[in-house]
Amino acid sequence: MNDSLAWPFFDDGHRTLARDLNAWAANQLGADDAAADVDQVCRSLVALLGEAGWLRYCVAKEYGGARESIDVRSLCLLRENLAKRSGLADFAFAMQGLGSGAISIGGSDAQKRKYLPEVASGKLIAAFALSEPDAGSDVGALAATGRREGEDYVLDGEKTWISNGGIADFYCVFVRTGEAPGTRGISAFVVDADTPGLEIAEKIPVIAPHPLATLRFSNCRVPAANLLGKAGSGFKLAMQTLDIFRTSVAAASVGFARHAMAEALSRSVSRRMFGQTLGDFQLTQAALADMATGIDASALLTYRAAWSRDCLGVPATAEVAMAKMVATETAQQVIDKALQLFGGLGVKSGMPVERLYREIRALRIYEGATEVQKLIIGRQAIKDFSAAAGEAKK
């Protein structure tokens, strides 16, 4: 089977990036330690990734980045290859990008100069605060508010499932400012973590631990200068940010699935039973065939989506949704099959397949659950059909 780096989606810079990263990661990253304090581990990983220069891929060159503008194929290669070794390293990398994405896309030059170079060096930790207890998939229903008072906005309400909650230095927060009903009345603000009125209401433990919290805003006053883009444009800004980072969730899933595949193959050639190896059974070969094909299909959709945005200059929202849906769902199946090949050993705490089994689950939910991706793809198919039918009538 050919090396996916040979695919036409990549240029030589991408190939070098992936090889350099893999060489670095082999030296610098160990398996995640389940007993460690994840807040501390993630702080250290952001610093490590920053010192090594990898976080420079999260921002544009003008603000300390590695490439002219954010290159989705690079983000994806980084996440795929970090995820192969360490879920927390992938997480730490991804959140620097997602957490600062709204600044990169909608921020003023002053906002970009203040935050982005520090994100790229790992000196400031970023977070994206969109979801609420009663508004996850339905972003247009969010209820936290921002009301204008003179030169400030005063924020009130709760944000939950916030990755990096508690360790972030700043949050890109989306609140209802009421310019219009629904999605047209939402604005985004950058809020420093030490702003009075912002507190961590709850740290949330999850099956694959990482820094996660509920934030509470009570009379939290931020200067109007912290508004990202125009008042009322926050929903679009959130969607544009997700158009970039959902593709990278797909790439991380490919990385997790590749790790599971490697574990499954090594088990298949070493485990003996009934006088032969596990890999000699056609049932095992069938499982491996499904896994290998699923991984390639996921990688092709992922890099097609990334390439579309980088090279065609279109948002490619539906292509991104296809990649996110297929790669996350497939990775879950691949990991489950790998775990099955390990038998009882597969569910033993600390085994790589056991860790992957817990780690992949959230990716089918966060940054738009599979069901949301289906909505996006289905709506786009109808839109394209209607547009083509309209053209044909002319």
**Closer CB to ligand COS, 99 or 294, in the complex:** 99
Segment near ligand COS (CB under 6 A); pick from 17-25, 51-59, 237-245, 289-297? 237-245
**Closer CB to ligand COS, 29 or 215, in the complex:** 215
Residues 209 and 37: their CA atoms lie apart, in Å, by: 9
Asked whether position 140 contacts ligand COS by CB under 6 A, the answer is yes
Asked whether position 367 contacts ligand COS by CB under 6 A, the answer is yes
Judged by CB under 6 A, the number of residues near ligand COS is 23
Q: How far is the CB of 199 from ligand COS (least distance, A)?
A: 20
Element (H, E) at 89: helix 87-106
Beta-bridged to residue 156, according to DSSP, are 145
**Closer CB to ligand COS, 184 or 221, in the complex:** 184
**The binder of ligand COS chosen from 25, 66, 127, 130 (CB under 6 A):** 130
Q: What is the largest distance, in Å, between two alpha-carbon atoms of the chain?
A: 80
3-state helix, strand, coil in the chain (%, to 5): 60, 15, 25
Element (H, E) at 195: none
Element (H, E) at 218: strand 212-223
**Tokens 């600044």 sit on residue:** 103
Q: How far is CA 339 from the centre of its chain?
A: 24
Asked whether position 80 contacts ligand COS by CB under 6 A, the answer is no
- Which residues, at least 6 apart from 96, have a Cβ–Cβ distance to it below 8 Å? 46, 49, 55, 58, 119, 122, 125, 126
**The binder of ligand COS chosen from 108, 137, 266, 293 (CB under 6 A):** 137
Segment near ligand COS (CB under 6 A); pick from 231-239, 257-265, 267-275, 329-337? 231-239
Q: How far is the CB of 213 from ligand COS (least distance, A)?
A: 13
**The binder of ligand COS chosen from 233, 248, 317, 328 (CB under 6 A):** 317
Query: Rg of the chain over CA atoms, in angstroms?
Result: 21
CB-count exposure of residue 140 (10 Å: 0-12, 13-18, 19+) = middle
Q: How far is the CB of 379 from ligand COS (least distance, A)?
A: 7
Asked whether position 370 contacts ligand COS by CB under 6 A, the answer is no
Residues 215 and 238: their CA atoms lie apart, in Å, by: 18
Asked whether position 239 contacts ligand COS by CB under 6 A, the answer is yes
Q: Which of 179, 202, 367, 391 is catalytic?
A: 367
Asked whether position 247 contacts ligand COS by CB under 6 A, the answer is no
Segment near ligand COS (CB under 6 A); pick from 25-33, 64-72, 330-338, 371-379? 371-379
- Which residues, at least 6 apart from 225, have a Cβ–Cβ distance to it below 8 Å? 110
Q: In Å, how far are 182, 265, 325, 372 from 377, measured between CA atoms?
A: 22, 34, 10, 9
**Closer CB to ligand COS, 164 or 268, in the complex:** 164
Asked whether position 174 contacts ligand COS by CB under 6 A, the answer is no
Segment near ligand COS (CB under 6 A); pick from 144-152, 165-173, 286-294, 372-380? 372-380
**Tokens 């009301």 sit on residue:** 147
For residue 62, indicate whether it is catalytic: no
The answer to whether the beta carbons of residues 10 and 73 sit under 8 Å apart is yes
Binding site for ligand COS (CB under 6 A): 130-131, 136-140, 183-184, 235-236, 239-240, 242-243, 315, 317, 366-368, 372, 375-376
Active site residues: 367
